[in-house]
Structure 1
Amino acid sequence: MPQFSVNTHRFDPYANFKFRIKWDGESVAGLSKCSALKKTTEVIDWREGGDPSHGRKLPGKTSYEPITLESGLTHDLRFEAWANLVNNFQGDPAMSLRNYRKEIVIDVCNLQGTVVISYVVHRCWVSEYTAVPELDAAGNGVAIQTIVLQNEGWERDVAVTEPAET
Structure 2
Amino acid sequence: MPDRHGPLRPNRFKVELDGITIGGFQRVEIPSKRTEQIEYREGNDPAHHKRLWGKNSYDDLIMERGAKKENGDLYKWRKEVDEGKLDKARKSVAVILQDETGESHLRWEFTNAWPKEYQPPTLQSNTGAGQGNIATETYIVTFDEMTRKDV
Residues paired across the two proteins, number? 144
Deviates more, 1:66-75 or 1:33-42: 33-42
Residue in 2 that maps onto 1:154: 146
Specify every segment of 5 or more residues in structure 1 that has no aligned partner in the other structure, as ranges.
Answer: 1-8, 88-93, 161-166
Residue in 2 that maps onto 1:90: none
Question: Residue by residue, what CA displacement relative to the aligned partner does 1:36-76 show, whole Å, maximum 9, x if unpaired?
Answer: 23211111111221124211111011112110000011111
Residue in 1 that maps onto 2:122: 134
Query: TM-score scaled to structure 1, two decimals?
Result: 0.80
Where do 1:8-87 residues align within 5 Å?
10-75=4-69, 76-87=71-82
Give SS of 1:98's match: helix
RMSD of aligned alpha carbons: 1.7
Amino acid at match of 2:105: V
Identity of aligned residues (%): 26
Asked if 1:114 corresponds to 2:103, the answer is yes
In the alignment, the residues of structure 2 paired with residue 11 and residue 27 of structure 1 have an alpha-carbon distance, to the nearest angstrom, of: 27
- Relative to structure 1, is the Cα distance of residues 10 and 26 closer, same or farther in structure 2, using a 3 angstrom cutoff? closer
- From the two aligned structures, give the one with the greater strand fraction: 2
Query: TM-score scaled to structure 2, two decimals?
Result: 0.87
In the alignment, the residues of structure 2 paired with residue 156 and residue 78 of structure 1 have an alpha-carbon distance, to the nearest angstrom, of: 25
- Relative to structure 1, is the Cα distance of residues 114 and 10 closer, same or farther in structure 2, using a 3 angstrom cutoff? closer
In the TM superposition, structure 1's runs of 4+ consecutive aligned residues that sit over 4 Å from their partners are: none
Residue in 2 that maps onto 1:3: none
Specify every segment of 5 or more residues in structure 2 that has no aligned partner in the other structure, as ranges.
Answer: none
In the alignment, the residues of structure 1 paired with residue 86 and residue 31 of structure 2 have an alpha-carbon distance, to the nearest angstrom, of: 26
Question: Residue by residue, what CA displacement relative to the aligned partner does 1:97-144 show, whole Å, maximum 9, x if unpaired?
Answer: 43210001111100111111222211100100013x221111352111
Amino acid at match of 2:106: I
Where do 1:87-106 residues align within 5 Å?
87=82, 94-106=83-95
